[in-house]
Amino acid sequence: MLTIAIYIALVGVAASMIGIVIRVVKGPSAADRVVALDSLGISLIAMTGLFSMLLDSSVFLEVILLLGILAFIGTVAFSKYLEKGAIVDRERHK
Amino acid sequence: MIGAFFSVVTAIGLIRLPDLYTRTHAASKSATLGVMCILIGTLIFFLTEDGMFNSRIVLGIFFVLITAPVGGHLIARAAYNMGVKPAPETVVDDLADKEKHEKAKSRK
């Protein structure tokens, strides 16, 4: 019963990932693609959680935390790049 | 199941909505909620199956809860400063009015 529910949820998350990939491919601006890639990372977290339930092992749970941190850092870096042209500022005082 | 439903809603919103800001709205909120539902499900699963309370999932839930809206905010602001135009149905653009006002004031 629970396995069937997990399978259905996996199919749903996979379908949503396909939709997000469509947005990544045809997004008109770069920020669109960044938003789509951020939510792609977040749905990858969901996939990892579902797979760790399916395989009944708790060794993937670090992966969840790590993917969350990496998605956030990537989004912040890209938004700084799009806004100012540089990720790490050289000049502190302007 | 609920989390997967919200993820599907996220994808539909990302495809259907007209401009970047509404897409950010769909992505950040419903994706966060969906992932949190799935992770809470994982927590309950391991709690009942193995009888162990997994603190890493709790940490993951809180991290996603804190950082996903912040990421959405950052990317929307970066897009606005890049000059991405909102959808043509937009009525009020307060930030542009404010910038115009400040520019006029500094010219004086």
Residues of A with Cβ-Cβ distance to B46 under 8 angstroms? 58
Classified as helix, coil or strand, B8 is helix
**Does the interface ipTM go beyond 0.85?**
no
Q: What pLDDT is recorded for position B97?
A: 59
Q: Measured between CA atoms, how close is B104 to chain A, in angstroms?
A: 23
- For residue B92, the model assigns a pLDDT of 56
Highest mean pLDDT among A4-13, A64-73, B70-79: A64-73
Highest mean pLDDT among A8-22, A57-71, B15-29, B49-63: A57-71
Contact B56 A62 (CB under 8 A): yes
Asked if pLDDT for residue B61 goes beyond 80, the answer is yes
- Choose the weakest-confidence range: A66-75, B79-88, B94-103: B94-103
**DSSP helix/strand/coil, A79:** helix
Both structure tokens of B98: 């404010």
* Mean pLDDT across chain B: 69
Task: Tell me which residue in A17, A20, A65 faces B59 most closely, judged by beta carbons.
Answer: A65
Burial classification of residue A5, based on how many CB atoms lie within 10 Å of its CB (0-12 exposed, 13-18 middle, 19 or more buried): middle
Indicate whether this model's pTM tops 0.90. no
- Residue B82 — pLDDT band, cuts 50, 70, 90? low
Flag whether residue B13 sits within 8 Å of chain A, measured between CB atoms.
no
Flag whether pLDDT at B93 surpasses 60. Answer: no
Which residues of chain A have a CB within 8 Å of the CB of B23? Answer: 23, 32, 35
For chain A, what is the mean pLDDT? 78
Label residues A24-55 b or e (16+ Cβ within 10 Å = b).
beebebbbbbbbbbbbbbbbbbbbbbbebbee
The reported pLDDT for the residue numbered B55 is: 80
Contact call for A20 and B10, based on CB within 8 A: yes
Chain A hits for B28, CB-CB cut-off 8 Å, are: 39
Reduced to 3 states (helix: H, G, I; strand: E, B; else coil), residue A38 is helix
Closest CA in chain B for residue A33: B20
**Whether residue A56 has pLDDT greater than 70:** yes
Query: What SS3 class is residue B1?
Result: coil
Strand (E) or helix (H) holding B46: helix B20-49
